[in-house]
Amino acid sequence: MEDLLPKPVPPRVGLIYDDRMCEHTDPDSDYHPETPNRIRVIWKKLQSAGILQRCVVMKAKEAEDKHIALVHKKKHIDLIRNVSSQEFDSRRSKIASKFNSIYLNEGSSKSAYLAAGAVIEVSEKVAKGELDSAVAIVRPPGHHAEPNEAMGFCLFNNVAIAASYLLNERPELGIRKILIVDWDVHHGNGTQKMFYDDPRVLFFSVHRHENGSFYPSGDDGSYTMIGEGLGSGYNINVPWEHARCGDADYFAVWEHVLVPVAKAFNPDMIIISGGFDAAIGDPLGGCCITPYGYAVMMEKLMEFAQGRIMMALEGGYNLDSLAKSVLACVETLLKDKHVVASSKTYPFDSTWRVIQAVRKELSPFWPTLSGKLSKKLLVTTRKAPLIQLISSSDSDAENDDLAHAGSDAQCSVNSIEVVEDVIASLSTLTFDEDNHSKDQMSSSSASWRSIFSKVDIWYASFGSNMWKPRFLCYIEGGQAEGMQAPCSGSMDKNPPKEIVWKIVPHRFFIGRSKTRTWGAGGVAFLHPESDDSSNSYMCLYKITLEQFNDVLVQENRLRPVEAINPLFDLSDLESVTKNKSLNSNELKDGWYSNVVCLGTEGDLPILTMTCSNLDIELFKSGKLPLNAPSKEYRDTLVKGLVEGKQLSEEEAVAYINDGFTRPL
């Protein structure tokens, strides 16, 4: 009898990929995190897992301007269409520098049009019923792109274009309500703005926010941003207060916010802004979602809209974690049984705090959120880390290592362990108002910070940190005038105990070609070896060794500020005071990898950080350029020197000009 039963029809899952989207590359760096290899490794992973033979595979077609114009302004469309043409060759870099975290090259226009076109095409096929679901493996990503502005690696807002196309251009397909789920670690500011007053689109974004200090910064990602007019209540933000959120935190939000609202909204289709920079090991995200975590989130969404889901790639910069996570999502759409695993850790207490705030804010619009969360304690909570991880644009350095950063720095084994336990039910993730878990960070982390907070040193700055408001960004967090992105700050936010100025016999110079904090132009370095023929101005800040470690991390952007072990420990301090310099192996990929001791001031060592001697040789040979700073960076240097009463404005400008015009 069993042989007579019809076999279940396998789901029709579409995959769209086109290698032409790899033509969009950073002309100034081979190590930009938004690299063509992002989509290539995904495709290879799916290929090696035998997924391609089980899916409907398509190549991309370029989007039409009239469809892009559904969400973008004509001026923006004209720019992206033409910016890769020869007439823009001489000014393309300058145009890119005017945007926030954008690069442009000869392949950018085609890639942007292909990405948007690919997402439109598979969305339409899912809406028609030709596919049950689909995944668009595209770049550049899109969710940061606003109606008239590219930003955050995004040129066109692919997901928003596709959603608007289905709602406005293809009403006969019957897609009248769309749920957009944005699980990228960064807030989908562009998508939010495009549908903020539209009740046909329920936009849901879960992201690191940290009171607006995490990229894209500002208040747009706050839970109080709920939509306006007819769209009031149709914009839901779940803003994490810190990094290290993982499977349990996301499962809790799914169960207590997204799932009940999705049931009430009853979408006709779901579009996922599939960013994977909240995945474990991502160098920009600092969160800890496992591939299994993404599979569970996808599986819960498949319960709605008859499983009509289209997922478009957004972020994700740890190539291994990215590929494994996308594979887990595709296998889930194919209804494969994934390996059952769960996080041994529990949601942070801050996760419950955020969930409560979101539910309270949205309950007037969604009565399903108005009920009290269960007081029955079925899980415990974790205490939130005391500080955020480094945001995606903290350092003066371009952070050439980002594409290769490993997972060890992002989520310690104490933060998340994937074990073979079964999650019995997502509904067990309930909140106990009386639970106040006091779990501490790892004892080793607490131990070194406790000790280093009692050790004072002088940190000597020769660059933008000479201006106190800019330096305080590394201590207190935030950003100063002229900076394009905020800093996360130190775990110890106490201001410097004392500030003095000093002149040292070392060569000040300005080199490199572009930074994320300041845009196109060089930044300051100090020749690590003394030279009686040169003098450099140094602003000395009396801070703790703990704070110096946090500044060192932010300058080099190699790992989280709150990592378990220090980059520069007491033995390193002893070594550098004896040997005058220390090139740390942990810092070898950073621009400021060389800690130099410039002597003492009041019996305390004076420490600065600069480039390695190897980099000096590269600057001398021209392989690394001496280069004029951006106007914003130059103005910051001038402010530091003038407000520090070291030089007049005219003298300061001359000093800075000498830094990039005189050969090493």
Closest to 184 in 3D by CA, of 161, 158, 163: 158
Taking each helix axis from N to C end, the angle separating 468-476 and 545-556, rounded to the nearest 10 degrees, works out to 100
> Strand 514-515 to strand 13-16: parallel, antiparallel, or no bridges (unpaired)?
unpaired
Question: What's at 659, amino acid-wise?
Answer: G
Region label for 75, one of left (φ > 0), alpha (ψ between -120 and 50) or beta (otherwise): alpha
Please say whether the beta carbons of 406 and 350 come within 8 A: no
Starting at the edge strand found earlier in the chain, the sheet holding 235-240 runs 56-58, 13-16, 133-136, 309-313, 269-274, 178-182, 201-208, 235-240
Kindly state the tokens that stand for 158: 């692919």
Q: Is 242 part of the annotated catalytic residue set?
A: no
Kindly state the tokens that stand for 575: 């070594």
Residue 348, strand partner residues: 382
Question: What's at 217, amino acid-wise?
Answer: S
DSSP line for 280-340: TT-TTT--BB-HHHHHHHHHHHTTSGGG-EEEEE-----HHHHHHHHHHHHHHHTTPPPPP
Catalytic option among 144, 242, 256, 527: 144
SS3 assignment, position 43: helix
Please give, one letter per residue, the 3-state secondary structure of 66-95.
HHHCCCCCHHHHHHHHHCCCHHHCCCHHHH
What is d(CA 637, CA 635) in angstroms, rounded to the nearest whole number? 5
What is d(CA 588, CA 605) in angstroms, rounded to the nearest whole number? 23
Question: What's at 225, amino acid-wise?
Answer: M
The CA-atom distances, in angstroms, between 10 and each of 32, 44, 87, 206, 329 are 39, 23, 50, 31, 16
Tell me which residue has tokens 């001359």.
Answer: 654
Q: What is the radius of gyration, based on Cα positions, of the chain?
A: 26
What is d(CA 629, CA 524) in angstroms, rounded to the nearest whole number? 9
Kindly state the tokens that stand for 548: 């110096």
Q: Pinpoint the alpha helices (H) of 311-429.
A: 319-333, 349-362
Taking each helix axis from N to C end, the angle separating 443-452 and 545-556, rounded to the nearest 10 degrees, works out to 110
> Strand 456-461 to strand 604-610: parallel, antiparallel, or no bridges (unpaired)?
parallel
Closest to 562 in 3D by CA, of 471, 440, 460, 396: 440
Active-site positions read: 144
